Amino acid sequence: MKYEKRYDGREFEELRPMEAKVGVVKNAIGSAMFKIGKTVAIAAVYGPNDLFPKFLQYPDKARLRCHYNMMAFSGAGDRVRPGTSRRSKEISMVTEKALLPALDLQDFPKAVIDVHIELIQTDAGTRCAGICAASLALADAGLEMKDLVAAISGGLVGQTPVVDLDKQEEDFPNGAVDIPIAVLPRTGELTLLQLDGEITKEQLKITLEFAKKGCDKIYEVQRAALRAKYEEAKK
């Protein structure tokens, strides 16, 4: 079975509609919401704070701690088991690694910066939405950053290269390949690249190209959202 037309009528290179808002959690030092299609992520940043137990401290820089979580009611009707799972631990770890290259943590030795990412509604692409929200929240927290981080998944549905897969596409009967990537858009450096499935070299090249183009679009949305927070207050 060939995948010729996308379920929701998008072009193969087209992203789902996006929305980003900065400053959604008033208690946090920095926070943001990032929505792509039906996937909604909220990120809140606390810190830099004292880090205990002491052996976790780095003497020369701050530690970044990410926590990724899908809420119990966020799925497509079936209840997600609440709390930490093997999957969420892994995603927390890759999120951390995806954000670190953008951050300069040397100003805060021995401290910790906590990033909490909650997915209140999910329709695939959650780690990417989480990374997009987290990078906005970190910028909003006034931390030194080389660049924002934009993330999107590319992949194959059937044998067709597409970008930004939704849940229905991931569950395609003939199999789908999911390749989440995170990019520092200004320089094009990849900070996350995961692959789940089988793909040829040529197909991988095309999907990565699609995904990188997608990241550029996300970057625009992110930058506009950060500016919007302060331009709104000006009025």
Q: Does 147 bind another protein (CB under 8 A)?
A: yes
Q: 180 forms bridges with which residues in the sheet?
A: 153
Q: Does 61 bind another protein (CB under 8 A)?
A: no
Q: Does 34 bind another protein (CB under 8 A)?
A: no
Taking alpha carbons only, the member of 68, 73, 112, 114 closest to residue 90 is 68
Q: Output the six-digit token pair for 180.
A: 């989440």
Please, what is the minimum distance in Å from the beta carbon of residue 30 to another protein? 7
Q: Does 231 bind another protein (CB under 8 A)?
A: yes
Please, what is the minimum distance in Å from the beta carbon of residue 185 to another protein? 7
Please, what is the minimum distance in Å from the beta carbon of residue 69 to another protein? 24
Q: Does 230 bind another protein (CB under 8 A)?
A: yes
Amino acid sitting at position 14: E
Residue keyed to tokens 């954000």: 99
Contact 143, 113 (CB under 8 A): yes
* 108 SS3 class: coil
Residue keyed to tokens 């390949």: 177
Per CB under 8 A, the list member of 68, 108, 172, 210 interacting with another protein is 108
CA distance 143 to 149: 14
Question: Of 78-107, which residues contact another protein (CB under 8 A)?
Answer: 102, 104
Residues of the shown chain interacting with another protein in the complex, contacts defined by CB under 8 A: 29-30, 47-50, 62, 102, 104, 108-111, 139-148, 184-186, 223, 226-227, 230-231, 233-235
